Amino acid sequence: MTKSRIDLFKKMLQDDPNNTTVRFGLANELLKLERFEEAATELQTYLGQADDQGAGYGKLAQSLERMGQIDKAREAYQQGIAAANRHAHPGMAQEFEMALDELIAE
C-alpha cells in the first residue's frame, strides 16, 4: 500500500512540484519504509518551499539521526524549536527540546 502511495505522490509532484502538502506526504511515506535519505531530501525541499510550523523539521531531524548525521539532526531540531515557537506550538517545541537533549547526551 505504501509503495503505491509513494508512486501516487510522485505523480502528483510531477504535475505540481510546488505542492508542499503532497511533498510532505511523500516524505512521510518514505519514512514509514525507512528510506531515510530520500525522506530527508524531500523534507529539505519541502522546508525550502513551506513556512513549516515545526513538524517538518522534527521529521527531518529523525531521518538525519537514523542516518547517523547527529550534528545535522541537532540543527534540524533547533530549527524546529524556533519554528514551533514562532507558530505558538509550545508543546512541539518542548518535545524537540527533549529530543535535542537526548542527542546531546549521546
- Position 93 pLDDT exceeds 70: yes
One DSSP character per residue, the chain reads -HHHHHHHHHHHHHH-TT-HHHHHHHHHHHHHTT-HHHHHHHHHHHHHHS---SHHHHHHHHHHHHTT-HHHHHHHHHHHHHHHHHTT-HHHHHHHHHHHHHHHH-
Enter the pTM of the model. 0.91
- Position 2 pLDDT exceeds 70: no
CB-side exposure of 4: number of CA atoms within 13 Å? Answer: 1
pLDDT tier for residue 104 given thresholds of 50, 70 and 90: confident
Long-range contacts of 76-79 (CB under 8 A, 24+ apart): 77/103
What average pLDDT is seen over the chain?
A: 94
- What does residue 19 show for φ and ψ, rounded to 5 degrees? -80, 100
pLDDT digits (tens, 9 = 90+) for 63-74: 999 999 999 999
For the chain, which domains are there?
A: 2-105 (1.25.40.10)
pLDDT digits (tens, 9 = 90+) for 33-67: 999 999 999 999 999 999 999 999 999 999 999 99
